[in-house]
């Protein structure tokens, strides 16, 4: 609607200008003869009406700056001078070395620095002797710390079977400088299984052998094991039957 009214207004203006300047019209008339354009109220109503803008908003006044409070003047602390005192020197007192208490040694174990000889078992002779191969040589071995009854006795047969069990296919042998050979020509050794279990001690503890050669390296330990087995009535030696058949100290049980 507004565009239409503006177009009509512009048309009237252009018509008036054309009439005034004689553009696109017949030759100009003298001034006194020119017609005067008269606009009626209806023509004025065709001019567009400019829109009314809303009034600008009223902004509140800027706040008045408030003066910051005055900070109190800093107080300068007096300078403290520290005079170092003498440095205490502490002399370290050596702590005495704590030595572990001695661990009880089992009944029979190889000595602290044993020289153990590996031997292959050729055959078991009886409860306390066997044939072995040592460094390729055949050696008749007798147990230095244990002596079993003869192999033709019931207890001797039991001791022989146990010796076969313990010795197996091979043993470890430990010599004692105090003893080398017995009266039968057997080379004397303390014998161990390949796992390190003392065969002498096992036979004595189980009541299948007597402890012999008490002045040997393990003589005292083996004698204690024999006393324990005797007190407990353990094995064929101390259960009664073999003791009656072969009294202690007889030739059959005496270790030379």
- Residue 23's pLDDT is 47
In-domain check, residue 78: no
Q: Measured between alpha carbons, how far is residue 134 from residues 98, 117, 131, 172, 193 in Å? A: 44, 8, 10, 10, 15
Are 162 and 143 in contact by the 8 Å Cβ rule? The answer is no
**pLDDT at residue 189 is higher than 60:** yes
pLDDT tens digits for range 120-172 = 999 999 999 999 999 999 999 999 999 999 999 999 999 999 999 999 999 99
Domain count, the chain: 2
In-domain check, residue 239: yes
- Residue 131's pLDDT is 98
Q: Do 135 and 249 share a domain, yes or no?
A: yes
Q: Do 28 and 123 share a domain, yes or no?
A: no
Closest CA to 250 of 190, 210, 202, 205: 210
In-domain check, residue 60: no
C-beta atoms surrounding 228 within 10 Å:
15
**Beta bridge pairs of residue 138:** 133
Maximum alpha-carbon separation in the chain:
187
Mean pLDDT of 193-203: 97
Q: Do 40 and 120 share a domain, yes or no?
A: no
Q: Do 26 and 120 share a domain, yes or no?
A: no
Return the sign of the alpha-carbon dihedral for residues 223, 225, 231, 233: negative
In-domain check, residue 59: no
Compare 15 and 193 and report the one with higher pLDDT. Answer: 193
Q: Do 33 and 141 share a domain, yes or no?
A: no
In-domain check, residue 206: yes
Give the residue from 44, 59, 78 where a domain finishes.
Answer: 44
Say how far apart CA 224 and CA 205 lie, in whole Å. 9
Q: Do 124 and 209 share a domain, yes or no?
A: yes
- Residue 114's pLDDT is 78
Helix (H) / strand (E) containing 229 = helix 219-232
In-domain check, residue 188: yes
Q: Do 27 and 132 share a domain, yes or no?
A: no
In-domain check, residue 176: yes
Compare 213 and 9 and report the one with higher pLDDT. Answer: 213
Residue 201 belongs to domain with CATH number: 2.40.50.90
Q: Do 140 and 249 share a domain, yes or no?
A: yes
Provide, rounded to the nearest whole percent, the portion of the chain with pLDDT above 70: 50
Q: Do 25 and 149 share a domain, yes or no?
A: no
pLDDT tens digits for range 77-97 = 555 444 444 544 444 444 444
225 band by pLDDT with thresholds 50, 70 and 90: very high
Are 191 and 234 in contact by the 8 Å Cβ rule? The answer is no
Domain residues for 165?
Answer: 116-253
pLDDT tens digits for range 230-242 = 999 999 999 985 6
Q: Do 37 and 122 share a domain, yes or no?
A: no
Question: Average pLDDT over the chain, rounded to whole?
Answer: 75
C-beta atoms surrounding 142 within 10 Å:
24
In-domain check, residue 58: no
Q: Do 38 and 162 share a domain, yes or no?
A: no
Closest CA to 209 of 169, 151, 168: 151
Q: Is 173 helix (H, G, I), strand (E, B) or coil?
A: strand
- Residue 240's pLDDT is 81
Using alpha carbons only, what angle is made at residue 149 by residues 143 and 155, rounded to the nearest 5 degrees?
120
């Amino acid at each position: 609607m507004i565009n239409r009214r503006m177009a009509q207004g512009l048309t009237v203006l252009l018509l008036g200008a054309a009439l005034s300047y004689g553009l696109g019209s017949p030759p100009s008339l003298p001034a006194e003869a020119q017609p005067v354009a008269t606009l009626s109220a209806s023509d004025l109503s065709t001019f567009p009406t400019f829109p009314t803008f809303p009034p600008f908003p009223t902004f509140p006044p800027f706040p008045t700056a408030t003066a910051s409070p005055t900070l109190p003047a800093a107080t300068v602390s007096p300078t403290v001078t520290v005079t170092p005192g003498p440095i205490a020197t502490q002399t370290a007192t050596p702590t005495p070395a704590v030595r572990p208490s001695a661990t009880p040694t089992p009944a029979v174990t190889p000595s602290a620095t044993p020289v153990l000889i590996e031997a292959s078992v050729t055959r078991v002779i009886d409860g306390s002797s066997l044939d072995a191969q040592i460094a390729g040589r055949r050696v008749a071995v007798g147990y230095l710390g244990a002596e079993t009854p003869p192999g033709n006795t019931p207890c001797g047969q039991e001791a022989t079977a146990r010796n076969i069990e313990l010795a197996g296919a091979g043993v470890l042998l430990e010599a004692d400088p105090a003893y080398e050979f017995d009266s039968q020509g057997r080379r004397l050794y303390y014998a161990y299984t390949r796992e390190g279990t003392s065969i002498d001690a096992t036979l004595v503890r189980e009541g299948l052998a007597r402890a012999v050669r008490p002045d040997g390296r393990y003589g005292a330990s083996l004698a204690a094991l024999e006393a324990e087995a005797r007190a407990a009535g353990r094995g064929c030696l101390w259960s009664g039957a073999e003791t009656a058949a072969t009294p202690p100290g007889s030739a059959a049980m005496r270790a030379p």
